[in-house]
Amino acid sequence: MEDPLEFVPGYVSPLTDKEHARIGRIAILWGQIEHFVEHLVTKVSGLSWAELETIGVTNKPIAAKVDFLNVATGRLDDPDLRQRVKAFCAMIHETKLARNHVFHGIWGWRADQRTKSVFAAARKTSQPEAPFKASQLPGLEKKLCKCSRMGSDLMVHFWEEGFRVKLMRFIHHAGDEHPAWLDHWSKRNPMDDGALDHNAKAGQLPRLAAHYPRT
């Protein structure tokens, strides 16, 4: 006999569909930030990924990697660049607590005794006194957009012949070189203004209006 509740979770989400979509964008932005951190730890420290594995950095959580990156800025001769990397690290730590609430806290309705009101919020068991309100999601997305740009700009500094552009797309595949078919696909499907969803506002993750063709 089938269980009618088999795929019904324990609790109803207090969030709207748009708020769920925003959390999805926040997850993607955080992935970008972790990507930049993992590349910058090699560039700033001067150590290869294999060398970082040997000293146990690569398997550490993001906060420990950011701390390592912050300390590694001492190897940079350029004081302006050193400050930019430190500012990137500071921004990550500034948003870390909110991000942890969003992804690791339980979303529900917060009953506020002081105001005698109820609102949607996420709460971590370790910090029940500091819920993250659903109304704070737009501000977190905006901060993470800024943080991702900071990481991107730093990577441009370390790329040979790198230059700052408004938008880039990240393509990953198994090989080290782009195969010819992928170059052809990229030319057929350019990253231009026509591909973007123009409903995205400033401070939101840029996104496509529709999926690119697979071939």
Domain count of the fold of the chain: 2
pLDDT at 177: 76
Distance (Å, rounded) from C-alpha 116 to C-alpha 22? 27
Full domain range(s) for residue 184:
172-215
pLDDT at 191: 86
* pLDDT < 50: residue spans in the chain: none
CA nearest to 97, candidates 59, 63, 120, 69: 63
pLDDT at 159: 81
- pTM of this prediction? 0.91
- Asked whether residue 67 falls in the same domain as residue 151, the answer is yes
Structure tokens at 57: 């950095």
Is 112 among the domain residues?
A: no
pLDDT at 1: 86
Is 207 among the domain residues?
A: yes
What is the helix, strand, coil percentage profile of the chain, to 5?
50, 10, 40
Is 121 among the domain residues?
A: no
- The DSSP output letter for 153 is H
pLDDT at 160: 66
In sequence order, what are the residues at sequence separation of 6 or more whose Cβ sits closer than 8 angstroms to the Cβ of residue 67?
A: 89
Is 179 among the domain residues?
A: yes
